[in-house]
Structure 1
Amino acid sequence: MNPGKQRRLNRLCRNGDRRYLFIPMDHSVSDGPPQLINRFEGVGLAAALGGADALIVHKGRLPGLAADPELRGCGLVMHLSASTVHGPDPDAKVLVGTVAEAVRQGADAVSVHVNVGARSEPDQLQALGTVAAHCEELGIPLLAMVYLRGPQVVDSYDAAELAHVVSIAIDLGADLVKTSMPRPLSGVSRLVEAAGGRLILSGGSAEEEPAEFLGKAEYAMRAGTAGLAVGRRVWTAGEPAAVVRRLAEIVHAGVPALAEPAAV
């Protein structure tokens, strides 16, 4: 691997165990939830103190977080994609930042969002490939957020289809790949294989009961997932640091032999 990429990738994992707990906070652009916007830097600090490996934010938020000495040890990922719930097609992601900007601002990695099955899928795939080339040139890791969304999608959580989506991201140059938890959960192993051990699973909706989600998270990590990316469940919580602390225990703890998940 590119040595610059490797050094920055190491900074995304506090424990040096090649496992990652990311807290996505890019939702402030996509749907503007007040639970996040009204206390953005406070949530970021709480997540960092709780043990998050990295925060995922847009470029306008990155300087304020990067300047906070209390966030030392917590990585920063600059998100390059955007769309909003107010647009004609919320699934149509466009680039709103560059890899060069991320490097100048001190980001440890960049992320790009692609919705496979969207009407604008070709443009989004082209953007991913372009960003991957820039990441290689400048030595910065790329996290690809890839989902099944759009009029061509029958089941957004089908393991076989998600494995295809994950492999697309790897083929186009992603260093880490974030996608949805499959249903049933036993399909995780198929995604892990497709990602070559570079799979990050999304936390999904915050409406799911905490105990049920934590059980899924534990199973996913035992199945070989490289980490979790949990946003809404953190920044809608009354005590975000406590939620992150529990997630960090799951992601970075030694994991026993794989057990079959409960039916979900």
Structure 2
Amino acid sequence: MPDIDGLLEARNFTGDQTSTGGFHVKGANAQDWGLQNRLSRIFRPSTGRTVMLAFDHGYFVGPMAGLERLDRDIAPLAPQADAIMMTRGALRTSIPSDTDAAVVLRASGGPSILRELSDEHIALDIEDAIRLNAAALAIQVFIGGEHESRSVANLARLVDVGQRYGIAVLGVTAVGKEMARDARYFRLATRICAEMGAHIVKTYYVADGFETVTASCPVPIIVAGGKKVPELEALTLAYRSIQEGAAGVDMGRNIWQSEHPAAMLAAVRAVVHDGAKPEEAYELYQERAAAGAAS
């Protein structure tokens, strides 16, 4: 066992990751054709980035504000996203099968908001994921949580089966109430996910040192939107995340809890794919919102 007392603080995060093969998704040059093809459905080849729309929240919190009617409130937004992240139940019941958005299926679950959330298990069979044409499977990893070891083992098992069938795995760094929320913690959590084989990692943005989180993770990092904040603030979060090395955002509440969800999704796309600055994207949001209200 390594002597953790003698570890030096990591500090050399500069420089681009060495790449071979020219594939547009970080860390995936050596993957098989099918897995690369699925990653290309998530990450736009022209930019190497993604705008993912997350609405899997109901699997542990139920019908929260903005998710009361998935068919009415979420399905119309799906065509505007590069990828959509949800449960298999939500996909089958509420999302039209002609959608072009890449499907990212929530693959872990168990406890509700009323219990210890880290007590999760794999809750999806790979055959069902194949039937649903999933591009990726999402699983929470609770580094520092009560059931950390099991969540890491769940990730490892899902990676094994994902590799077998060419389906990517998205490791989600879950943050409990008592867990740290700084760059050092997120470097640890994201690196563990990548070292265990995750092809993509979803984590949170931090203002101090986020570029070290993205630099030290050998696979793409996408940033969670988190709780609902004013639109300009959310667009600023997306902009800073991209500028500091993220390969996209996975937003939920900051889109479908916005007063004008479609306009907000368009503004986020402008930041991620077109390099729009937050103020420019906010102007686009206001224009789209006004046009929608007029129609």
Say if 2:104 is the partner of 1:74: no
Q: How far off is 1:67 after superposition? A: 3.9
TM-score if structure 1 supplies the norm length?
A: 0.86
SS at 1:116 equivalent = coil
Aligned partners of 1:28, 1:148: CA distance in 2, in Å? 18
Q: How far off is 1:255 after superposition? A: 6.8
Aligned residues: 246
TM-score if structure 2 supplies the norm length?
A: 0.78
Aligned-pair identity (%): 24
Q: Which amino acid aligns with 1:85?
A: I
Alignment of 1:13-162 (within 5 A): 13-14=43-44, 16-49=46-79, 51-64=80-93, 67-69=96-98, 71=99, 73-82=100-109, 83-87=111-115, 89-149=116-176, 151=178, 153=179, 155=180, 157-162=181-186
Deviations 1:20-53 (A, max 9, x none): 111111101111133344221233333224x211
Higher RCO (CA-CA < 8 Å; seq separation 6+): 1
Q: How far off is 1:64 after superposition? A: 3.8
Aligned-residue Cα RMSD (Å) equals 1.9
Aligned partners of 1:98, 1:16: CA distance in 2, in Å? 33
Query: Aligned residue for 1:2?
Result: 32
The alpha-carbon distance between structure 1 residues 194 and 147, as it changes in their structure 2 partners (threshold 3 A), is: farther
Q: Which amino acid aligns with 2:131?
A: R
Query: Aligned residue for 2:188?
Result: 164
- The equivalent position to 2:210 in structure 1, one of 173, 179, 188, is 188
Q: How far off is 1:12 after superposition? A: 1.3
Structure 1 gaps, min length 5? 257-264
Aligned partners of 2:209, 2:73: CA distance in 1, in Å? 32
Q: Is the 8 A contact 2:214 2:246 kept in 1?
A: yes
Structure 2 gaps, min length 5? 1-30, 278-295
Q: Which has the larger radius of gyration?
A: 2
Q: Is the 8 A contact 2:67 2:74 kept in 1?
A: no
